[in-house]
């Protein structure tokens, strides 16, 4: 059930109640003007810096209601204001090497992740790292804006999971597969953020069937069309299928926290959540 008092408290921070429609109005000091320049977006608040802090506090309150958190490092306790969002420890594993590097076997975990981009455009450009840890990426996504919860260290330094979908957060976590076979089907054909191919879509969820592609669409994506032979009860049949190339990356993680999102979400998909896969490791 929604925490109605907590949600009401957030609304009271941000809005004034009006007797007639539209019934809610953003408090005057919290109004802002957004300007987009060569260095990105800037936000000017009527109430100045205090207004940005109010927005951040209110949005953090909503975030705690919809997410669970795990400090990214041992001893990284969160601020008391978001302590209620701490993730249950049964979903979290601390991966650590032995204190003496010459004794015992280091505890390591092997994960897989696939992407259409090669190493130079994926790992070397830090695309497999958490967005909040990358200055340019965080700026592009407004994560470093003073009104954004992720601009606060207490939020930025945690790994967050979504409660409703029981899945990973996009900005503080990188999802990895526990085996090679699971990772290979990714990225999917309808992965809109993949720069290498964006096939014609039937709607926002499915790629248009090939027999519905226009001549122009076929010509545009001709390099991703392949003629294959399929064995059927009628013998060998030739078909045209969409073909893509993916790059598989094996990651060995030897320290830090790992979240078992498969256990957390109760799903069957064999994946885990880590902070990121830095190119230097």
Give the tens place of pLDDT for each residue, 14-66. Answer: 999 998 888 889 999 999 999 998 888 899 999 999 999 999 999 999 999 99
212 touches 201 (CB < 8 A): no
Residue 198 located in a structural domain: no
Q: What is the pLDDT of residue 97?
A: 62
Q: What is the pLDDT of residue 54?
A: 96
Q: Provide the domain count of the chain.
A: 1
Residue 227 located in a structural domain: no
Residue 73 located in a structural domain: yes
Q: What is the pLDDT of residue 76?
A: 65
Q: What is the pLDDT of residue 106?
A: 63
Q: What is the pLDDT of residue 102?
A: 52
Which structural domain range is residue 141 located in?
4-186+246-274
Residue 154 located in a structural domain: yes
- Cβ neighbours, 10 Å, residue 15: 15
CA distance 199 to 213: 10
Is 238 exposed, middle or buried, given 0-12, 13-18 or 19+ CB atoms closer than 10 A? exposed
Residue 218 located in a structural domain: no
Residue 213 located in a structural domain: no
Residue 236 located in a structural domain: no
Show the low-confidence residues of the chain (pLDDT under 50). none
| Residue with token string 């260290």 | 153
Q: What is the pLDDT of residue 103?
A: 54
Is the peptide bond prior to 22 cis by the omega test (within 30 degrees of 0)?
Answer: yes
What is the pTM for the complete model shown? 0.82
Residue 222 located in a structural domain: no
């Amino acid at each position: 059930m929604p925490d109605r008092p907590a949600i009401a408290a957030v609304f009271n921070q941000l809005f004034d109640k009006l007797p007639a429609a539209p019934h809610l109005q953003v408090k005057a000091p919290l109004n802002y003007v957004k300007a987009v320049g060569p260095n990105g977006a800037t936000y000017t608040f009527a109430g100045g810096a205090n207004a940005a802090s109010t927005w951040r506090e209110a949005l953090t309150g909503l975030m705690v209601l919809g997410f669970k958190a795990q400090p990214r490092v041992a001893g990284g306790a969160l601020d008391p204001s978001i302590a209620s969002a701490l993730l249950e420890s049964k979903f979290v594993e601390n991966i650590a090497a032995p204190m003496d590097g010459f004794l015992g076997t280091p505890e390591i975990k092997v994960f897989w992740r696939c992407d259409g981009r090669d190493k130079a455009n994926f790992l070397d450009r830090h695309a497999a790292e958490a967005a909040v840890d990358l200055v340019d990426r965080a700026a592009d996504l407004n994560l470093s804006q003073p009104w954004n919860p992720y601009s606060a260290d207490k939020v930025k330094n945690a790994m967050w999971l979504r409660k409703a979908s029981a899945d990973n957060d996009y900005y503080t976590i990188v999802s990895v597969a526990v085996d090679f076979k699971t990772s290979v089907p990714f990225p999917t054909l309808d992965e809109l953020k993949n720069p290498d191919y964006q096939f014609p879509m039937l709607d926002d969820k499915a790629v248009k069937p090939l027999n519905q592609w226009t001549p122009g669409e076929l010509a545009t994506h001709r390099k991703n069309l392949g003629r294959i032979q399929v064995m059927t009860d009628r013998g060998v049949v030739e078909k045209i299928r969409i073909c893509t190339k993916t790059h598989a990356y094996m990651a060995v993680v030897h320290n830090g926290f790992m979240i078992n999102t498969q256990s957390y979400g109760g799903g069957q998909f064999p994946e885990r959540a880590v902070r990121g896969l830095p190119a230097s490791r």
